[in-house]
Amino acid sequence: MSHEAISVFDMFKIGVGPSSSHTLGPWRAAGLFLQNLKNKNITDKVTSLEILLYGSLAKTGKGHGTDIAVQLGLSGDDPVTFDVNMITQKIEQIKNQRKLFLNCSYEIEFNPQEDIEFLKNESLPYHPNALTFIAVLKNGEHISETYYSIGGGFVKKEGEEIISDSEIILPFPINDSADLIHWCMQTGMNISEVVMENENSWRPEIKTREGLLYIWETMHECMYLGCHTEGILPGGLNVKRRAAQLNKKLLSGKEYSGFEAWTTAIKQGGNDFKYILDWVSCFALAVNEQNAAFGRVVTAPTNGAAGVIPAVLAYYTIFCNGNSEDKIIQFLSTASEVGSIFKKGATISAAMGGCQAEIGVSSSMAAAALTECMGGTQRQALMAAEITMEHHLGMTCDPIKGLVQIPCIERNTMGAIKAITASQLALQSAPDYAKVTLDNVVQTMWDTAGDMNSKYKETADGGLAINVPLGLSEC
């Protein structure tokens, strides 16, 4: 049976908030279109550009910064390295000068208000997140390419297969959890060890380890910054940041400098249940407040759900004595495999499946990872993932004003807590007596996604998006 080879670095991508499907995906699509122009040696022959946004990208693209993302992508900026503090300045410059520098070098006339069209009443059949780039050349020729942002920063060009390393042959090919448990039982390896063996097909193990530690570094830098930044989130809802105030309250005046000293100060506060619960919420709030403010985040597996895994991993490293490189790598490896199973068998796109596809999947990933790191068996880890998703089924994606703020930020705290609870349940359970498998719940999630009304799939046409008056603070 054929299989899609998905690396840990496909599931965990470094980028810019607030949305992997509406920001990072279109940014990458714009970069791919720009690269195709370069490959054809016609970049300097472009006289004008038009970008058409369809479906969910049109309906919530403003709130998610899709228009900003495509401009930065066409400019040749890299979402991994671009200085997020310069985004506003650069976009204002393009707007005021009405000029775009393709690949930071070739100047064309460009008016974002006219040349980026939000086609809210049009959708393309393959996926709700679609965008088309149309370049007009000096000789009058039109170059048109359509891309789909299919969730988690994954991009598919119309007429081509998903842009990934899908041709890689893995020693342990996995389509579903049954495949995964088969390889674990046959080899005696745990989930993270199977993952690492597969990763060796892409690169030397030392590179995978270095990359995963850098992923964690990016996560905790985002978390630390979010816990020390106050103010109002952009977008017009006037949502007040809460993580920094909660951080101050919990630390009660303790002095520290830097991430390591901060976590030491946190640990010194003890293991009281309420204290730990508050910190898990604080960690998740911090990440997603940064995400909402166009900060640097890691898709896990998406930007909208970026706070769950960092929050649970921080809980593990600080309160469960899991602060070692090996344990961090084990956690992220296990989490990535569970995420890839959901992507293969269902979706990680809220525009396709609602928020069950984002928060639900991230929570399942975190639950499985925590379970393995806490000494659980392979079956217990998958049981934890199943329990988590079972209690996210049908969750809608209805962001107010199309912003990744309400209910998205708080929802990450709930996803983190559910993951920890599911892990504890699995560790105290015998998987042999479970009535529901992870594959059962993946299929159910996909069936539910198909039945779900489109207005609950990241369109801002239903739910809280239409029932809550704009301007109310989420407090």
pLDDT per residue over 391-431, tens digit each?
999 999 999 998 999 999 999 999 999 999 999 999 999 99
pTM of the model: 0.93
Over the stretch 68-116, which tens digit does the pLDDT of each residue have? 999 999 999 999 999 999 999 999 999 999 999 998 889 999 999 999 9
Using the predicted structure, report yes or no on whether residue 472 has a pLDDT greater than 80: no
In a domain, 171, yes or no: no
pLDDT of residue 168: 85
Q: Which helix (H) or strand (E) element contains residue 359?
A: helix 359-373
Would residue 363 count as lying in a domain? yes
The DSSP letter of residue 240 is B
Q: Are residues 55 and 96 both part of a single domain? A: yes
Instruction: Give the CB-side neighbour count of residue 398, counting CA atoms within 13 A.
Output: 16
Q: Give the model confidence (pLDDT) of 228-286 as tens digits.
A: 999 999 999 999 999 999 999 999 989 999 999 999 999 999 999 999 999 999 999 99
Q: Which of 157, 186, 220 is the last residue in one of the domains?
A: 157
- Is 460 a domain residue? yes
| Same-domain status, 319 and 203 | yes
Average pLDDT over residues 160-184: 84
Lowest mean pLDDT among 2-11, 200-209, 338-347, 399-408: 2-11
> Closest Cα to residue 8, out of 359, 342, 339, 346?
339
* Interior angle at CA 111, CA 106 and CA 117, nearest 5: 115
181 vs 473: which has the higher pLDDT: 181
298 is a domain residue:
yes
Residue 4 located in a structural domain: no
Q: What is the pLDDT of residue 104?
A: 81
Domains identified in the chain, total number: 2
- Report the pLDDT value the prediction gives residue 2, as an integer from 0 to 100: 63
One domain for residues 216 and 302: yes
pLDDT value at residue 105? 85
The reported pLDDT for the residue numbered 167 is 66
The domain boundary, picked from 157, 185, 215, lies at 157
pLDDT at 103: 85
Same domain, 420 and 326: yes
Instruction: Report the chain's mean pLDDT, rounded to a whole number.
Output: 94
Residue 122 belongs to domain spanning = 20-157
Residue 159 pLDDT level (bands cut at 50, 70, 90):
confident
Is 406 found in the same domain as 284?
yes
The mean pLDDT of 186-212, rounded to a whole number, is 98
Same domain membership, residue 129 and residue 71? yes
Helix (H), strand (E) at residue 378: helix 378-390
Q: Are residues 315 and 363 in the same domain?
A: yes
Does residue 129 have a pLDDT over 50?
yes
Asked if 111 and 38 sit in the same domain, the reply is yes
Rounded distance between C-alpha atoms, residue 391 and residue 421, angstroms: 11
Q: Does residue 117 form part of some domain?
A: yes
Residue 268: inside a domain: yes
- Asked if the structure places residue 163 within a domain, the reply is no
User: 153 and 214: one domain?
Assistant: no
Does residue 240 share a domain with residue 147? Answer: no
Domain termination residue (choose one: 128, 157, 186): 157
Residues 141 and 204 in one domain: no
- Which percentage of the chain shows pLDDT scores above 90? 91
pLDDT(5) > 60: yes
Residues 402 and 317 in one domain: yes
Cα gap 75→100, rounded to integer Å:
7
What is the reported pLDDT for 186? Answer: 97
- How far is 133 from 103, CA to CA, in rounded Å? 15
Using DSSP, state whether 151 is helix, strand or coil.
strand
In this structure, what CATH number is given to the domain that contains residue 139?
3.30.1330.90
